[in-house]
Protein backbone atom coordinates (compact mmCIF):
# COMPACT_ATOMS: atom_id res chain seq x y z
CA UNK A 1 0.00 0.00 0.00
CA UNK A 2 1.20 3.50 -0.84
CA UNK A 3 2.19 5.69 2.12
CA UNK A 4 1.97 9.46 1.69
CA UNK A 5 3.81 11.78 4.09
CA UNK A 6 2.58 15.33 4.72
CA UNK A 7 3.41 18.24 6.98
CA UNK A 8 0.89 18.99 9.71
CA UNK A 9 -1.38 17.18 12.13
CA UNK A 10 -4.09 14.72 11.12
CA UNK A 11 -7.03 16.60 9.65
CA UNK A 12 -4.90 19.34 8.03
CA UNK A 13 -5.39 20.42 4.41
CA UNK A 14 -2.27 18.50 3.42
CA UNK A 15 -3.84 15.39 4.94
CA UNK A 16 -7.01 16.02 2.92
CA UNK A 17 -4.96 16.50 -0.26
CA UNK A 18 -3.16 13.20 0.30
CA UNK A 19 -6.43 11.32 0.78
CA UNK A 20 -8.08 13.04 -2.18
CA UNK A 21 -5.20 12.33 -4.55
CA UNK A 22 -4.53 8.80 -3.30
CA UNK A 23 -7.76 7.26 -1.96
CA UNK A 24 -7.09 4.35 0.35
CA UNK A 25 -3.44 5.25 0.90
CA UNK A 26 -1.84 5.25 4.32
CA UNK A 27 -0.83 8.71 5.51
CA UNK A 28 2.05 9.80 7.70
CA UNK A 29 1.85 13.09 9.62
CA UNK A 30 5.17 14.96 9.92
CA UNK A 31 6.07 17.97 12.05
CA UNK A 32 8.00 19.80 9.29
CA UNK A 33 8.49 19.77 5.54
CA UNK A 34 12.01 18.45 6.12
CA UNK A 35 10.58 15.54 8.12
CA UNK A 36 8.23 14.70 5.24
CA UNK A 37 11.15 14.77 2.80
CA UNK A 38 13.19 12.54 5.11
CA UNK A 39 10.32 10.06 5.41
CA UNK A 40 10.41 9.54 1.64
CA UNK A 41 14.20 9.51 1.39
CA UNK A 42 14.46 6.89 4.13
CA UNK A 43 11.71 4.71 2.68
CA UNK A 44 9.26 5.27 5.55
CA UNK A 45 6.90 6.79 2.96
CA UNK A 46 6.55 6.41 -0.79
CA UNK A 47 5.42 9.96 -1.54
CA UNK A 48 5.26 13.39 0.07
CA UNK A 49 2.35 15.80 -0.49
CA UNK A 50 3.80 19.30 -0.18
CA UNK A 51 1.92 22.63 -0.65
CA UNK A 52 3.75 24.99 -2.96
CA UNK A 53 1.43 27.96 -3.57
CA UNK A 54 -2.03 29.28 -2.80
CA UNK A 55 -4.31 31.56 -4.81
CA UNK A 56 -4.76 33.87 -1.79
CA UNK A 57 -1.55 33.64 0.25
CA UNK A 58 0.89 33.12 -2.64
CA UNK A 59 4.04 31.05 -2.28
CA UNK A 60 4.30 28.74 0.72
CA UNK A 61 7.20 29.86 2.88
CA UNK A 62 10.52 27.95 2.67
CA UNK A 63 9.47 25.73 -0.24
CA UNK A 64 11.62 27.64 -2.74
CA UNK A 65 14.66 26.87 -0.56
CA UNK A 66 13.84 23.27 0.31
CA UNK A 67 12.89 21.90 -3.10
CA UNK A 68 16.18 22.62 -4.91
CA UNK A 69 18.18 21.12 -2.04
CA UNK A 70 16.37 17.79 -1.81
CA UNK A 71 17.29 14.71 -3.82
CA UNK A 72 13.60 13.94 -4.28
CA UNK A 73 11.82 14.40 -7.60
CA UNK A 74 8.47 16.04 -8.37
CA UNK A 75 6.28 13.31 -9.88
CA UNK A 76 2.84 14.92 -9.71
CA UNK A 77 0.68 17.84 -8.64
CA UNK A 78 -2.70 18.19 -6.95
CA UNK A 79 -5.05 21.14 -6.60
CA UNK A 80 -7.15 21.31 -3.42
CA UNK A 81 -10.03 23.74 -3.02
CA UNK A 82 -9.53 25.14 0.48
CA UNK A 83 -12.64 25.15 2.68
CA UNK A 84 -12.57 26.22 6.30
CA UNK A 85 -15.10 25.41 8.98
CA UNK A 86 -15.68 26.99 12.38
CA UNK A 87 -15.81 24.27 15.03
CA UNK A 88 -16.04 23.85 18.77
CA UNK A 89 -16.71 21.26 21.44
CA UNK A 90 -20.24 19.82 21.58
CA UNK A 91 -22.53 22.43 23.11
CA UNK A 92 -20.45 25.39 21.95
CA UNK A 93 -22.24 28.24 20.15
CA UNK A 94 -21.04 31.09 18.02
CA UNK A 95 -22.82 33.55 20.30
CA UNK A 96 -21.00 32.23 23.36
CA UNK A 97 -17.54 32.12 21.83
CA UNK A 98 -14.76 34.63 22.55
CA UNK A 99 -11.67 33.30 20.78
CA UNK A 100 -10.96 31.56 17.50
CA UNK A 101 -7.70 29.62 17.09
CA UNK A 102 -5.95 28.62 13.85
CA UNK A 103 -2.86 28.94 11.69
CA UNK A 104 -1.99 32.54 10.83
CA UNK A 105 -2.85 32.02 7.14
CA UNK A 106 -6.23 30.48 7.93
CA UNK A 107 -7.08 33.38 10.22
CA UNK A 108 -6.10 35.84 7.49
CA UNK A 109 -8.18 33.97 4.91
CA UNK A 110 -11.25 34.10 7.15
CA UNK A 111 -10.75 37.67 8.35
CA UNK A 112 -14.17 38.90 7.23
CA UNK A 113 -16.07 36.20 9.13
CA UNK A 114 -13.96 36.68 12.27
CA UNK A 115 -14.51 40.44 12.26
CA UNK A 116 -18.24 40.15 11.56
CA UNK A 117 -18.74 37.96 14.63
CA UNK A 118 -16.46 39.85 16.99
CA UNK A 119 -14.10 36.95 17.66
CA UNK A 120 -10.54 37.39 18.91
CA UNK A 121 -8.11 35.58 16.59
CA UNK A 122 -5.36 33.56 18.28
CA UNK A 123 -2.50 32.16 16.19
CA UNK A 124 -1.80 28.43 16.44
CA UNK A 125 0.93 26.41 14.77
CA UNK A 126 -1.44 24.41 12.58
CA UNK A 127 -5.11 24.42 11.54
CA UNK A 128 -5.76 20.82 12.57
CA UNK A 129 -3.58 21.31 15.63
CA UNK A 130 -5.84 24.13 16.76
CA UNK A 131 -8.84 21.80 16.45
CA UNK A 132 -7.07 19.20 18.58
CA UNK A 133 -6.27 21.83 21.21
CA UNK A 134 -9.86 23.10 21.29
CA UNK A 135 -11.04 19.53 21.85
CA UNK A 136 -8.51 19.09 24.66
CA UNK A 137 -9.42 22.37 26.36
CA UNK A 138 -13.14 21.52 26.34
CA UNK A 139 -13.92 25.23 26.66
CA UNK A 140 -17.01 26.25 24.63
CA UNK A 141 -15.73 29.84 24.48
CA UNK A 142 -12.75 28.75 22.36
CA UNK A 143 -13.33 27.74 18.75
CA UNK A 144 -11.12 26.56 15.90
CA UNK A 145 -10.96 27.33 12.20
CA UNK A 146 -9.83 24.18 10.43
CA UNK A 147 -10.63 21.88 7.49
CA UNK A 148 -13.84 19.84 7.83
CA UNK A 149 -11.80 16.65 8.28
CA UNK A 150 -10.45 18.01 11.58
CA UNK A 151 -13.95 18.16 13.08
CA UNK A 152 -14.44 14.48 12.32
CA UNK A 153 -11.00 13.62 13.61
CA UNK A 154 -11.34 15.39 16.98
CA UNK A 155 -15.05 15.03 17.69
CA UNK A 156 -15.91 18.71 17.28
CA UNK A 157 -19.18 20.28 16.19
CA UNK A 158 -19.18 22.39 13.03
CA UNK A 159 -20.83 25.75 13.74
CA UNK A 160 -20.31 27.29 10.29
CA UNK A 161 -18.95 26.00 6.99
CA UNK A 162 -17.24 27.67 4.04
CA UNK A 163 -16.20 30.73 6.04
CA UNK A 164 -13.17 31.59 3.89
CA UNK A 165 -13.33 35.08 2.39
CA UNK A 166 -12.34 34.07 -1.15
CA UNK A 167 -14.27 31.21 -2.73
CA UNK A 168 -11.51 30.61 -5.29
CA UNK A 169 -9.13 29.73 -2.44
CA UNK A 170 -7.07 26.85 -3.82
CA UNK A 171 -3.70 25.36 -2.90
CA UNK A 172 -1.46 23.60 -5.38
CA UNK A 173 0.54 20.70 -3.98
CA UNK A 174 3.47 18.90 -5.54
CA UNK A 175 4.02 15.17 -5.02
CA UNK A 176 7.60 14.14 -4.31
CA UNK A 177 9.16 10.70 -4.66
CA UNK A 178 12.58 9.12 -4.79
CA UNK A 179 14.25 9.59 -8.22
CA UNK A 180 12.70 7.62 -11.06
CA UNK A 181 12.70 7.80 -14.88
CA UNK A 182 10.58 10.56 -16.37
CA UNK A 183 7.29 9.47 -17.95
CA UNK A 184 7.42 9.07 -21.71
CA UNK A 185 6.66 12.15 -23.81
CA UNK A 186 3.51 12.18 -25.91
CA UNK A 187 1.43 10.11 -23.48
CA UNK A 188 -0.05 13.02 -21.53
CA UNK A 189 0.03 16.78 -20.98
CA UNK A 190 3.14 17.49 -18.93
CA UNK A 191 4.65 20.12 -16.68
CA UNK A 192 8.42 20.49 -16.32
CA UNK A 193 9.70 22.17 -13.18
CA UNK A 194 13.28 23.43 -12.88
CA UNK A 195 15.57 25.96 -11.23
CA UNK A 196 18.31 27.97 -12.90
CA UNK A 197 20.83 30.71 -12.20
CA UNK A 198 21.78 33.11 -14.97
CA UNK A 199 25.26 34.29 -15.81
CA UNK A 200 26.07 37.69 -14.34
CA UNK A 201 26.01 39.60 -17.62
CA UNK A 202 23.70 42.35 -18.93
CA UNK A 203 20.31 41.13 -20.20
CA UNK A 204 21.14 37.53 -19.25
CA UNK A 205 17.62 36.82 -17.93
CA UNK A 206 16.01 38.38 -21.00
CA UNK A 207 18.17 36.26 -23.29
CA UNK A 208 17.74 33.11 -21.22
CA UNK A 209 13.95 33.32 -21.30
CA UNK A 210 13.74 34.34 -24.94
CA UNK A 211 13.88 30.74 -26.08
CA UNK A 212 10.58 29.95 -24.38
CA UNK A 213 8.81 32.74 -26.25
CA UNK A 214 10.31 31.97 -29.65
CA UNK A 215 9.51 28.26 -29.27
CA UNK A 216 5.96 28.86 -28.06
CA UNK A 217 6.43 27.28 -24.63
CA UNK A 218 3.97 28.44 -21.98
CA UNK A 219 5.62 29.44 -18.69
CA UNK A 220 3.17 29.16 -15.81
CA UNK A 221 5.48 29.96 -12.90
CA UNK A 222 8.55 32.19 -12.57
CA UNK A 223 9.83 33.13 -9.12
CA UNK A 224 13.17 34.46 -7.99
CA UNK A 225 14.93 34.18 -4.65
CA UNK A 226 18.34 35.07 -3.29
CA UNK A 227 20.87 32.48 -2.13
CA UNK A 228 24.22 32.41 -0.34
CA UNK A 229 23.43 35.66 1.48
CA UNK A 230 24.23 37.70 -1.61
CA UNK A 231 21.90 40.13 -3.36
CA UNK A 232 23.50 39.32 -6.73
CA UNK A 233 23.12 35.54 -6.39
CA UNK A 234 19.61 35.00 -7.73
CA UNK A 235 18.01 31.65 -8.53
CA UNK A 236 14.78 31.30 -10.49
CA UNK A 237 12.18 28.57 -10.02
CA UNK A 238 10.11 27.86 -13.12
CA UNK A 239 7.21 25.69 -14.28
CA UNK A 240 6.54 25.31 -17.99
CA UNK A 241 4.00 23.27 -19.93
CA UNK A 242 5.67 20.53 -21.91
CA UNK A 243 8.12 17.64 -21.74
CA UNK A 244 11.92 18.04 -22.18
CA UNK A 245 11.86 15.44 -24.96
CA UNK A 246 9.45 17.56 -27.04
CA UNK A 247 11.37 19.58 -29.63
CA UNK A 248 10.01 23.00 -28.60
CA UNK A 249 10.93 22.65 -24.92
CA UNK A 250 14.22 20.93 -25.73
CA UNK A 251 15.28 23.94 -27.82
CA UNK A 252 14.16 26.40 -25.12
CA UNK A 253 16.09 24.56 -22.40
CA UNK A 254 19.20 24.41 -24.60
CA UNK A 255 19.09 28.18 -25.05
CA UNK A 256 18.46 28.67 -21.33
CA UNK A 257 21.47 26.52 -20.44
CA UNK A 258 23.73 28.65 -22.65
CA UNK A 259 23.00 31.76 -20.56
CA UNK A 260 22.93 29.98 -17.19
CA UNK A 261 25.58 28.84 -14.74
CA UNK A 262 23.21 26.29 -13.20
CA UNK A 263 20.15 24.43 -14.50
CA UNK A 264 18.48 21.59 -12.64
CA UNK A 265 15.22 19.87 -13.53
CA UNK A 266 13.14 19.20 -10.40
CA UNK A 267 10.58 17.00 -12.11
CA UNK A 268 8.54 16.14 -15.21
CA UNK A 269 4.98 15.17 -14.35
CA UNK A 270 1.44 14.97 -15.76
CA UNK A 271 -0.52 18.21 -15.54
CA UNK A 272 -3.48 18.06 -13.17
CA UNK A 273 -6.84 18.82 -14.87
CA UNK A 274 -7.41 21.75 -12.50
CA UNK A 275 -4.34 23.49 -13.93
CA UNK A 276 -6.26 24.29 -17.13
CA UNK A 277 -9.44 25.23 -15.25
CA UNK A 278 -7.48 27.76 -13.24
CA UNK A 279 -5.63 29.23 -16.23
CA UNK A 280 -8.69 29.38 -18.55
CA UNK A 281 -6.27 28.19 -21.22
CA UNK A 282 -7.11 25.53 -23.76
CA UNK A 283 -5.31 22.28 -22.90
CA UNK A 284 -2.26 21.89 -25.06
CA UNK A 285 -1.82 18.95 -27.41
CA UNK A 286 1.04 16.66 -26.31
CA UNK A 287 4.08 17.43 -28.44
CA UNK A 288 2.98 20.96 -29.36
CA UNK A 289 4.57 24.11 -28.06
CA UNK A 290 1.44 25.48 -26.40
CA UNK A 291 0.85 29.18 -25.97
CA UNK A 292 3.29 31.79 -24.75
CA UNK A 293 2.55 32.80 -21.17
CA UNK A 294 2.28 36.27 -19.81
Distances (CA, A) of 70 to 146, 212, 278: 30, 26, 28
Q: 30 vs 60, which has greater pLDDT? A: 30
Please tell me the pTM assigned to this model.
0.87
* E strand intervals along 178-281: 190-198, 219-226, 234-241, 260-270
pLDDT tens digits, 168-209:
999 999 999 999 999 999 878 999 999 999 887 788 888 889
Cα separation, 120 vs 32, in Å, equals 27
pLDDT band at 229 (very low <50, low <70, confident <90, very high): low
Residue 235 predicted with pLDDT over 90: no
What's the confidence (pLDDT) of residue 224? 85
List 173, 190, 194, 196, catalytic entry: 173
Cα separation, 88 vs 220, in Å, equals 40
What's the confidence (pLDDT) of residue 233? 59
Cβ proximity of 20 and 80 under 8 Å:
yes
What's the confidence (pLDDT) of residue 174? 97
List 3, 27, 70, 171, catalytic entry: 171
Cβ proximity of 33 and 65 under 8 Å:
no
Residue 264 predicted with pLDDT over 50: yes
* pLDDT mean over 152-160: 97
Q: Catalytic: 171?
A: yes
Q: Catalytic: 192?
A: no
pLDDT band at 214 (very low <50, low <70, confident <90, very high): very high
Distances (CA, A) of 1 to 25, 78, 142: 6, 20, 39
Nearest to 39 by CA among 24, 53, 51, 26: 26
Amino acid sequence: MTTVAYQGEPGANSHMAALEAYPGAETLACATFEDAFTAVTSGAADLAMIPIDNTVAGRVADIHVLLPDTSLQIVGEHFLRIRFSLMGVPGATLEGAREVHSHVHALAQCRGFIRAHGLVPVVAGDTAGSAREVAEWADPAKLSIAPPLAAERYGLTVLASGIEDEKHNTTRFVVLARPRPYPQAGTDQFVTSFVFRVRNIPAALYKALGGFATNGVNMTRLESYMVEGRFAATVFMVDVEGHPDEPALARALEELAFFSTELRVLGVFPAHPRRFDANTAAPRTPGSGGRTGD
